[in-house]
Amino acid sequence: MPLSPALAAALDDAVLRESDALVKLAMDIHANPELRFEEVKASSWICELLASRGIPTERGIAGMPTAFRAVRGGEGGPRVAILAEYDALPQIGHACGHNLLAAGAVGAFLAAASVVGRVGGQIVLLGTPAEEGGGGKIKMIDAGCFQGLDAAMMFHPFDRDILAHPALASMWVTFTFHGKPSHAAAAPQDGCSALTACMDTFRLVDGQRVHFRDGVRVHGFITNGGQAVNIVSELAGCEFGVRARDQEELERVYAIVLRCARGAAMASGVTVEIALRRGYRDIRNNMTLARRFGEHLKARGRGAYETTDRVGAGSTDMGDVSHVVPSIHPYLAICDEGESLCHEHRFAECAASARGTSTALDAARAMAKTAVELLEDEALRQAVRHEWSA
Ligand SMILES: [Zn+2]
């Protein structure tokens, strides 16, 4: 049962009514980039905007001062969550467009909240800090913030509209090599170079790439390259990100990377210390829900790819959420296809453009309609749940 034209119009009107406030929110967050877990201004501005609309928020949830939750509607019925991210990147600010992501989520929530009394059920806004390497959503999963939800949704800015795009399972590993220092000119024969082992790790990993499955990414940088030019380096270190399309391949590749580091250490007669940091899970896009979002997007004249393999994928803690509750994470263009991708300076400029803010409003409309439709339509909820359990 598709959304009634009257409800769709009410949601469109609500987003239109809030559009000035949403654009201001997006621009303010863009002008004040805050790193993971430090999103004090961004989370406050969102909560203040909600408060000015008479909507209370619960702040500091899941042990994170910049996480929050707002709920509208009655208990006992279906519940749908819309997720807002608002963290920025070091050096390049809002080059992932999370300022727009936040504005779109707040707009969708305000619109859905304006009709939820008529429709029944609950609409939830979750403020999720630290997507960029902090895994705020994982802490919120552990704290039970996603329990009892029928679906979770968000949108992400991109260079094209895609309803469902992969996100890679990921982990980070740090290698610290401990060698034996000596004078690099006077007594090179007495030293064991930690730096050589560190560099050999990169070379050995490169040699293994022919054995990786499609979609695997292993990328690293040297965090400590030694102490001085005339000392055989006693200490050297590097960090690798390891990603794959699923957990099984991730673990297989991770074992290969470990083998390379250990082999490099053995070759140089040094020791290696290994520290593993858990990353994010791969994403399970709920296609039933994604296609409904796509239909609502079409009403705005936007024809999205259902999916495309012509552009690469990153990783997101929404992947973890998608294993706990049926989820969508569609991408919407804020620039021309191929013009710029996330984490580039140009993308940060696009995140403050008129096209960017208009995309955030399109996302708000489409998410609000998808969420309300889901609250209204039990058959749709069942189809979503059925796909998710399969
Ligand atoms: Zn992002």
Q: Pairing state of beta strands 151-153 and 327-328?
A: parallel
Q: Band of the pLDDT at 1, cuts 50, 70, 90?
A: confident
Task: Report pLDDT digits (tens) over 122-135.
Answer: 999 999 999 998 99
CA of 170 to the centre of ligand 1 (A): 15
Split at pLDDT 50, 70, 90, the class of 15 is very high
Say if residue 138 is exposed, middle or buried (CB neighbours under 10 Å; 0-12, 13-18, 19+): buried
The alpha carbon of 88 and the centre of ligand 1 are apart by a number of angstroms equal to: 9
Query: Is residue 95 over pLDDT 80?
Result: yes
| pLDDT confidence of residue 67 | 98
Q: How far apart are CA 390 and CA 387, in angstroms?
A: 5
Cα of 130 to ligand 1 centre, how many Å?
10
Sorting pLDDT into bands at 50, 70 and 90, what band is 297? very high
Distance 205 CA to ligand 1 centre (A): 27
- Residue 253 to residues 216, 226, 283, 320, 355: CA-CA distances in angstroms? 8, 27, 19, 20, 40
Nearest C-alpha neighbor of 204 from the set 277, 118, 265, 275: 265
For residue 373, pLDDT beyond 90: yes
- Residue 238: which region, alpha, beta or left (left: phi > 0; alpha: psi -120 to 50)? beta
Return d(Cα 178, Cα 58) in angstroms, integer.
Answer: 47
Listed residue (198, 202, 206, 201) closest to 225, CA to CA? 198
Q: What spacing in Å lies between the alpha carbon of 55 and ligand 1's midpoint?
A: 27
Structure tokens at 197: 């082992």
Distance CA 365, CA 207 (A): 48
Residue ranges with CB less than 5 Å from ion ligand 1: 96
Tell me, in angstroms, the distance from the centre of ligand 1 to residue 154's CA.
Answer: 11
226 alpha carbon – ligand 1 mean position (Å): 33
In the predicted model, what is the mean pLDDT of residues 262-269? 98
Element (H, E) at 366: helix 354-376
Q: What is the pTM of this model?
A: 0.92
pLDDT digits (tens, 9 = 90+) for 181-231: 999 999 999 999 999 999 999 999 999 999 999 999 999 999 999 999 999
CB 310 within 8 A of CB 134: no
Q: Tell whether the model's pLDDT for residue 2 goes beyond 90.
A: no
pLDDT at 320 (0 to 100) = 97
pLDDT for the residue 122: 98
Q: Left if phi > 0, otherwise alpha if psi is -120 to 50, otherwise beta: which for 88?
A: beta
| 99 CA → ligand 1 middle, Å | 10
Q: How far apart are CA 167 and CA 279, in angstroms?
A: 12
What spacing in Å lies between the alpha carbon of 78 and ligand 1's midpoint?
28
Given a contact cutoff of 8 angstroms between Cβ atoms, the answer to whether 245 and 166 are in contact is: yes
pLDDT in tens, 147-170: 999 999 999 999 999 999 999 999
How far is ligand 1, taken at its centre, from the CA of residue 75, in Å? 32
Separation of 96 CA from ligand 1 center, angstroms?
A: 5
What would the mean pLDDT of 359-363 be, rounded to a whole number?
Answer: 98
CA angle 160, 161, 164 (to 5 degrees): 120
